[in-house]
Amino acid sequence: MRGLAYFCIVSAAVYALAGMAFGIVMAASHDHTLMTAHAHLNLLGWVSMAIYGLYYHAVPRAAETRLAKIHIGVATFGLWIMIPGIAMAVLGMTEGPAIVGSILTILGMLLFAARVAMAQRAIA
């Protein structure tokens, strides 16, 4: 595994470790106020990024495109903004970063869907 697929899998592992640490801290403190941010980190960081990596490993031609690189950049940036943004929203500070991060995250998924559709059309 190399390139974009490798980046995605390594990122997924880092997000999984961060999500686990986040969960352990919540459990140890008996304060689950930020469980929504924890859940989104696990789902979007660990699960989605791992799926992206597995797809780009299985379809290496798709990973070599500019669209794939933009997809991963947008998805990563969206996650980095959304997770602290959710925490800020839950804590009553502001919802702005959560909104911006959510928009970038859904844009990242749209780019992934487009990349998958384009690769499938090229195979057919």
Range of the domain at 65: 3-123
Q: CA gyration radius for the chain? A: 16
What total of structural domains would you count in the chain? Answer: 1
Residues 6+ apart with CB under 8 A from 119: 59, 61, 62
- For the chain, give the mean pLDDT: 94
Residue 48, pLDDT above cutoff 50: yes
pLDDT, tens digit, 9 for 90 and up, residues 62-95:
999 999 999 999 999 999 999 999 999 999 999 9
The dihedral through the CA atoms of 72, 96, 39, 27 has a sign that is: positive
Tell me the mean pLDDT in the region 7-30.
Answer: 97
> Is pLDDT larger for residue 48 or for residue 122?
48
pTM: 0.90
The one-letter code for the residue type at 44 is L
